[in-house]
Amino acid sequence: MLDRCRGGRLGRGTVGIAVSSLAVALLARASATVHLVRPDGTGNYPTIQAAIGAAAPGDTIALADGRFAGDGNRDLDFSGKELVVHSVSGNPGACVLDCGGSESDPHHAFRFDSGDTPTSTLEGISIVNGWAYSGGAIRCDGAAPTIRNCVFQSNSADDQGGAIWIRQASPSIEDCVFRDDSSVTYGGAICLEYSNAVIMRCEFAENSSWRGGGVECRAPPGSGYSCQLITCSFRGNQATLGGALEVEGTDVRATRCDFSDNTAELRGGAIGLYSSLTSCHVTACSLTGNQSQFGGAISASHGEAYLDSCTVAANGATLHGGAIWLWYSSLWVSSSTISENVAPLGAGISISYLYHDSVVLGNSMLVLGQGGEALYWDGTGSGGSIELTCCDVYGNEGGDWVGHIADQYGIRGNISLPPLFCGDANPAEPYTLRSDSPCAPGFNPDCGLIGAWPVGCDPASSVASPAEVPAACSLHAGAPNPFCASTTIRFEVNVAATMSLAVCDVSGRVVRMLDAETMTRPGEYRVAWDGTDARGRIQGAGVYYVRLRVGQFTVTRPVSLIR
């Protein structure tokens, strides 16, 4: 039977080893003790630390639902023991560890600094109100614990890692939520120093720091450390550098992550790269609605950025690079959609000091940008190169194939045609392509698919793109754009049709209808929007869409509101 099941022969000695190992594992599990701790001090032990101190390696400490607080339930230390601490219910919202920390009376939740291994596990609890110099909730130094299905909220650090500080360590962090955590210097939620970590299926929302509003990954350049972010979401995080994520001297690989509505006061609304030998590989990610001065979505200073199969849309920069800004840095973009970004210089990409660096785009689109040209280079630096192959550069307000890429139009499969997105015909995936799109593989056999999204609708079911709207109808960008107090939207309609004008947020929700009742006949219209909704409530900074509907046609233009 063993031969048939395993596809080969096992000798008697091998069978003996396998059975013995299984018996040892079963014996260890059977001999492990579960210690119950309740918030009121009843249970097997009065506090969590008392249970940890009494537990043997392999034991489990089960926490009943409720709120744990006070001495013995904070400043906890596994002491290197292979333990599992988890909530009985598995619901982190019902089992809360309140550190009760403050600047004058700092307290955190856990320390992992005794060589803890992945079998040291923390699972299914919320940690709130931690305060420490580094690691407001958890300090992980020289250890590799597993942290799973936990919520970290309102934790603070005077220096690094509002929720978790990781130094020379390699933890695994899975299915966690980080909300409203903050640090003064690095990593509003998590700061990694000289560390390797895997962070999977985690949510980072409304965290803040000076650098790395959500996560900071830093190490000496070339030291070989790496962090993986897999299927994570970053929303509404804030920093001066790297609104959601900053990378310094190390390598970060972000896969299937969503970066939306993050803000950096200076550089990198979503992601900021800083320092030589810094790299960030961004694969199958979405970066939308992020804001900064330099690099609405991504900034790279002395680094290398790689984007593959990404959507970079509706980001805004007040100075350079609505989507991406580079300074002494290289960029490789493949199979990506870069659309509707806003900046005065380089609506899509802006480059400063191209010095022996490479900017390479393949099978990607730079389309429908507002303000500046599709790609801007200030001409400084020497020895660098900019090369586009099988790219669609179209509909950018400041120009498409202009400046330093003017001579690349019409060669190597480069085109300038409307991409024909599905839009409202496929609201779940608006950047998919109409079947008759020039970016679809069937219309561009030498290049194949251009952009991140495949065909997702037929022409008959699609809303017209701006290029398809009849010449008798035109919508201009708001002026000024970006704006602070008010912007004026101008459009012309020379045909009799039902018309409406709306301001929508990045999710498509209507924020405000603009004088729809007065627009009943052909003519030129100028309508002001003051950045408020229909009830007069001030809207937050970000990219919004002005949507004009004329009969069966719809056209949109992004406007960027700054505060």
The ranges assigned to domains in the chain are: 1-31, 219-416, 473-561
Q: Which of 24-28, 38-42, 404-408 has the lowest mean pLDDT?
A: 24-28
The Cα–Cα gap between 248 and 241 comes to: 11
Beta pairing class for 316-320 and 487-493: unpaired
What is the pLDDT, as a whole number, of residue 9? Answer: 31
What is the pLDDT, as a whole number, of residue 475? Answer: 79
Percent with pLDDT over 70 in the chain: 89
503 band by pLDDT with thresholds 50, 70 and 90: confident
Residue 331's nearest CA partner among 285, 380, 393, 280 is 280
Q: Which of 48-57, 232-241, 519-528 has the lowest mean pLDDT?
A: 519-528
How many other C-beta atoms are found inside a 10 Å radius of the C-beta of residue 98?
20
Residue 367's nearest CA partner among 343, 385, 344, 340 is 340
**Dihedral-angle region of residue 370 (phi above 0 means left; psi in -120 to 50 means alpha; beta otherwise):** beta
Q: Which of 8-17, 516-525, 526-535, 552-561 has the lowest mean pLDDT?
A: 8-17
Residue 324's nearest CA partner among 354, 345, 308, 309 is 345
Contacts of 129 (CB under 8 A, 6+ apart): 98, 99, 100, 101, 154, 155
- Residue 17 CA neighbour count, 13 Å, CB half: 5
* Residue bearing the bigger pLDDT, 468 or 239: 239
519 band by pLDDT with thresholds 50, 70 and 90: low
CATH of 473-561, one of 3.40.50.300, 1.10.3720.10, 2.60.40.4070, 3.90.1150.110: 2.60.40.4070
Beta pairing class for 499-504 and 510-513: antiparallel
Answer whether residue 501 shows pLDDT above 90: no
pTM of the prediction?
0.80
- What secondary structure does DSSP assign to 383-396, as a single string? B-EEEEES-EEE--
Contacts of 14 (CB under 8 A, 6+ apart): none
* pLDDT tens-digit readout, 106-133: 999 999 999 999 999 999 999 999 999 9
What is the pLDDT, as a whole number, of residue 460? Answer: 60
DSSP state, residue 30: H
What is the pLDDT, as a whole number, of residue 468? Answer: 43
Which whole number is the average pLDDT over 176-181?
A: 98
Percent with pLDDT over 90 in the chain: 69
